[in-house]
Amino acid sequence: MDWRWDFTFDVVLPKMWQAAGVTIWATVASFAFALVGGLILMLLKTNRSAWISRPATELIEFIRATPLLVQIFFLFFLLPEIGLTLPPLTTGILAIGIYNSALCAEVYRAGFQAVPKGQWEACTALNMSTYRTFRDVIIPQSLPPIVPALGNYLVAIFKETPLLSFVAVAEIMQVSKLIGAEYYRFTEAITIAGIFFLVMSLIAAFGIRLVENYVKRSILH
Amino acid sequence: MTHPMIQFDKVLKAYGALQVLKDLDFSVDNGEVVSIIGPSGSGKTTVLRVLMTLEGIQGGTMYVNGEPLNKMNVDGQLVDASKAHIRRIRSKIGMVFQSFNLFPHMTALDNCNESPIHTQGKSKAEATEESMRLLEMVGLAEKANHYPSQLSGGQQQRVAIARTLAMHPEILLFDEPTSALDPEMVGEVLEVIRDLAKSGDYTMLLVTHQMGFAREVSDRVCFFDGGKMVEQGKPDDLFGNPQHDRLKQFLSKVLEAG
């Protein structure tokens, strides 16, 4: 295999450095969106009124049943049609965030349902408000199953960001394609991109394990 | 005019076609200790659960100290109660569960403190002082900083009793409080309940399979079967001279089993 170190250091790494930042930013922002969006969707879905829960359930199903790439294209080409022109990166974060909100909603729901019924009943018997019930009893106990599942979605989102290269976001995959096209050399750029994803995924997995252990230690005794 | 502390007026509870409580009329006086006995499926636990508002009812009205619980008075009309109304009335009721239902991520002390601090607005110092006094009373002051998983079943149930008392309820509901316990731990929990019954400070409603205990502590025992109260009376009368065949059968079976 023809690998050139000078090309790697002089051309590829400087260009990809910035692109890596875009990838990480897209991941973090989409994940933050999905964390909040998922909670909102879950609350809507479990709302007592069918007028709220039905549309939320349908929306979640719709989002889950459509490929992410289609949704990215959809937002990218549709939003300008309705007069909302956002930068490609923002559109991409929105698309990935919405998609993963639908997935995280299920994680939250499963987590809350895993809390034994007796815990809810004890809260009622102690005359606790809904807010206190969730804040002090339900959420702390649902974190141990929720945290690892959400961690998986963080890694999944990270690996979904190359889809943004389809709408010309200068994330790491797009930049390595551009380098390849410009210099007719794909080996170094694509390899570096691969290594970047591998290393970052391993770091993220390690970080998630730390958070998991922390949650388990501080909540389960 | 004095009201009964608890009053059920034609209370109907049904799961679909299955009626668990059939137009139940039932009342308990202030300070009275009442045990409910009966076979499983008789609706005895449901009486406690609907009164604690853990489950809704399909008809009738429940009153606590003369005030409607599941309804409220608006311009002289009884309408479905608001959440705020239910919470206000419900604050008079405390419940001890068969499976304790302590919060596993909180120490015994924090379990007791949770409601006084966050629903009654007490300061942490004030709540802690009271909780420690209650834990002392159930014999667990030295376990205040233990988590439920570090306590035996009997100890957990005693913490649960202290947690319930910390809210200063007027009514105490006990739902088979010793059924989930190993036999050697039943005594320590019954002892606490016996003291509460003797104190006369609480109106108590006790669902139990401990016939000897029910006979000993109760002012009145009610026998439920098929969603209805079949027979009630003073403990010695009900156990010593049962009138209905269903009760006679039930007692002979229970006493046979020991």
How far does the CA of residue B17 sit from the closest CA of chain A (Å)?
Answer: 23
Helix count and strand count (H, E) for chain B: 9, 12
Residues in chain A with CB shorter than 8 Å from the CB of B164 are 125-126
Q: How far is CA B91 from CA B165, B168, B229, in A?
A: 11, 8, 27
Band of pLDDT at residue B254, cut at 50, 70 and 90: confident
pLDDT for residue A26: 96
Contact A127 B104 (CB under 8 A): no
CB within 8 Å: A132 and B102: no
Q: How many domains, chain A?
A: 1
| Option in A119, A124, A129 nearest B103 (CB) | A119
In the predicted model, what is the mean pLDDT of residues B213-236? Answer: 95
Give the mean model confidence (pLDDT) for residues B88-112. Answer: 96
What does the radius of gyration of chain B's CA atoms come to, in whole angstroms? 19
- CB contacts of A124 in chain B (<8 Å) are 52-54, 90
A127–B90 C-beta distance less than 8 A = yes
Confidence at residue A221, expressed as pLDDT on a 0 to 100 scale: 62
Percentage above 70 pLDDT, chain B: 99
A71-109: string of b/e by CB count within 10 Å (b at 16+)?
Answer: bbbebbeebeeeeeeeebbebbbbbbbbbbbbbbbbbbb
- pLDDT greater than 60 at residue B189: yes
Query: What does the pLDDT average to over B32-61?
Result: 95
Q: Contacts for A208-211 with beta carbons within 8 Å, 24 or more apart? A: A208/A147, A208/A148, A208/A151, A208/A152, A208/A154, A208/A155, A211/A147, A211/A151
- Measured in angstroms, the CA of A152 and the nearest CA of chain B are apart by 25
pLDDT of residue B76: 87
Tell me how far apart the alpha carbons of residues A182 and B195 are, in angstroms, rounded to a whole number. Answer: 87
Mean pLDDT score, B47-66: 96
How confident is the model over B8-29, as pLDDT tens digits?
999 999 998 899 999 999 999 9
User: Which residue range(s) make up the domain with A124?
Assistant: 5-220
A116 to chain B: closest CA residue: B101
CATH number for the domain harbouring residue A207: 1.10.3720.10
The answer to whether A220 faces chain B, any CB pair under 8 Å, is yes
pLDDT of B61 above 80 = yes
Burial of residue A61 (number of CB atoms within 10 Å: 0-12, 13-18, 19+) = exposed
Residue B258, pLDDT > 60, answer no
Identify the CA nearest to B162 among candidates B92, B204, B100, B205.
Answer: B100
**Which of B165, B222, B226 lies closest to B193, judged by CA?**
B165
Strand partners, B63: B7, B68
Regions of chain A with pLDDT less than 70: 1, 220-221
Cβ contact B101–A119 (<8 Å): yes
Instruction: Read off the pLDDT of residues B155-182 as tens digits, 9 standing for 90 and up.
Output: 999 999 999 999 999 999 999 999 999 9
B119-156 confidence digits (pLDDT tens): 999 999 999 999 999 999 999 999 999 999 999 999 99
